[in-house]
Amino acid sequence: MKRLLALLLLTACAYKGPRVEDITPPNLEARLLQSVDNPKIAGITHLIVFGDSLSDPGNLSSNTFHFVLPHEIFYKGRFSNGPIWADYVRAASGWKLDNFAVGGAQTHTAVFPERLVIRSFEEQIEDSKNTLKDLNPYSTLITIWIGPNDYLRNGSEYEERKLPNVKVLEGGVKRSLLEIRKGILELQKLGFKKIALGTMPELGGINRNPQDRGYTASDKTLFMATRFHNEGIYKIISDLHQSNPDIKIYAYRAYDINKATYENPKAYAFTRLDTPCFQGSLGGEFYGPKEFCKDPMGYKFWEYLHPNTRMHCFYATQFLTDASEAGLIAGFHKDKTLETCKSL
């Protein structure tokens, strides 16, 4: 262990190159303070998050001793160049936040030894139980936003000759949704009945890492997977409303805001969608010159698959919009918040 720590220290000291902290203003999330007049109108004081890289606050980085997502490149170990959506929501609402999301997580349990560092949705719930037992379910909002890795990492299973095998894909989506439903029912058993369930951003047409040697499904398959998955998310919500009127479950419409930025990027102050600001690996390796882009907020993606902090601010705005429409917060200044995100 001492040798490992020494190696990590040596690696950190040896790094010579641009640092994300030098191009990201501090405390960006604080700009959303006072975005919500009454964040406790429904009694919510605590936010719990389960998910993957889009919500990871640095858990995978910590689990891998920063070999993955080094902090010089990835802001505090997040898959971005600044705060992520949950950070912005915490600032806007004043809620306490416990975030169990881990980059790479799937709805089902990973194989050994990957599961030692990447905790699945089911395992995240298990990991959270010591925290949940001390919380008041009435004042706690659970957020579940997971799914993309089920399709991005298992693409070869769902297609033949780059075309979707519809029957097999439907089966895969059904398994993923079943795991999500099981997780929700487990949380219900623990008494938690206020749940935001995230829709999956469009996977079709995503940027591809040129150095990725793994197999990623074709765009046709990913477009179909996104549609099937999100249709299933809304069905879960509908079914649970009918079977348990006491549950307050609603959609966090992440798909919608992501789609809006593609349809009209200028309206969201994005200048590039097709290439990331940091062109390199999750381990911090640069594929070309050791430099970031000149417009880190204008490039929607920080890394090939993962959005920059401005996009995360828009995700937070959507989250707060949906929470407002669900009656969980009041007095949300949506237009002002959107303008704040654009000005980051």
Domain extent listing, the chain: 41-342
Q: Which of 123-127, 213-217, 226-230, 303-307 has the lowest mean pLDDT?
A: 213-217
Q: Do residues 155 and 214 make contact, with C-beta atoms less than 8 angstroms apart? A: no
Helix 309-325 to helix 254-263 angle (10° resolution) is: 130
Q: Which pLDDT band holds residue 340 (cuts at 50, 70, 90)? A: very high
Q: Which pLDDT band holds residue 214 (cuts at 50, 70, 90)? A: low
| Predicted pLDDT of residue 195 | 99
What tens digit of pLDDT does each residue of 29-72 get? 999 999 999 999 999 999 999 999 999 999 999 999 999 999 99
| pLDDT value at 9 more than 60 | no
Three-state secondary structure readout of the chain: CHHHHHHHHHHHHHCCCCCHHHCCCCCHHHHHCCCEEECCCCCCCEEEEEECCCCCCCHHHHHCCCCCCCCCCCHHHCCCCCCCHHHHHHHHHCCEEEECCCCCCCCCCCCCCHHHCCCCHHHHHHHHHHHHCCCCHHHEEEEEECCHHHHHCCHHHHEECCEECHHHHHHHHHHHHHHHHHHHHHHHHCCCCEEEEECCCCCCCCCCCCCCCCCCCCHHHHHHHHHHHHHHHHHHHHHHHHHCCCCEEEEECHHHHHHHHHHCHHHHCCCECCCCCCCECCCCCECCCCCCCCCCCCECEEECCEECHHHHHHHHHHHHHHHHHCCCCEEECHHHHHHHHHCC
Token couple for 73: 């490149």
Q: Calculate mean pLDDT across residues 88-103.
A: 99
Q: Which of 83-92, 149-158, 263-272 has the lowest mean pLDDT?
A: 149-158
| Predicted pLDDT of residue 234 | 99
CA distances from 258 to 9, 69, 202, 323, 337 (A): 38, 24, 7, 17, 16
| pLDDT value at 302 more than 70 | yes
Q: What is the percent of the chain with per-residue pLDDT over 70, rounded to a whole number?
A: 95
Q: Calculate mean pLDDT across residues 297-315.
A: 99
Q: How far is CA 59 from the centre of its chain?
A: 12
| Predicted pLDDT of residue 41 | 98
- Rounded Cα distance between 161 and 164, Å, is 8
Q: Do residues 140 and 194 make contact, with C-beta atoms less than 8 angstroms apart? A: yes
Q: What is the percent of the chain with per-residue pLDDT over 90, rounded to a whole number?
A: 89
Sign of the C-alpha dihedral computed for residues 277, 75, 212 and 154 taken in this order: negative
| pLDDT value at 279 more than 90 | yes
| pLDDT mean across residues, the chain | 95
| Predicted pLDDT of residue 103 | 98
| Predicted pLDDT of residue 5 | 43
What tens digit of pLDDT does each residue of 126-143 get? 999 999 999 999 999 999
Burial class (CB in 10 A: 0-12, 13-18, 19+), 221: buried
| Predicted pLDDT of residue 15 | 83
Provide CATH code, domain 41-342: 3.40.50.1110
| Predicted pLDDT of residue 13 | 54
Q: How far is CA 251 from the centre of its chain?
A: 15
Q: Calculate mean pLDDT across residues 203-208.
A: 96
- Rounded Cα distance between 47 and 343, Å, is 26
| Predicted pLDDT of residue 275 | 98
Q: Which pLDDT band holds residue 7 (cuts at 50, 70, 90)? A: very low
Q: Calculate mean pLDDT across residues 240-253.
A: 96
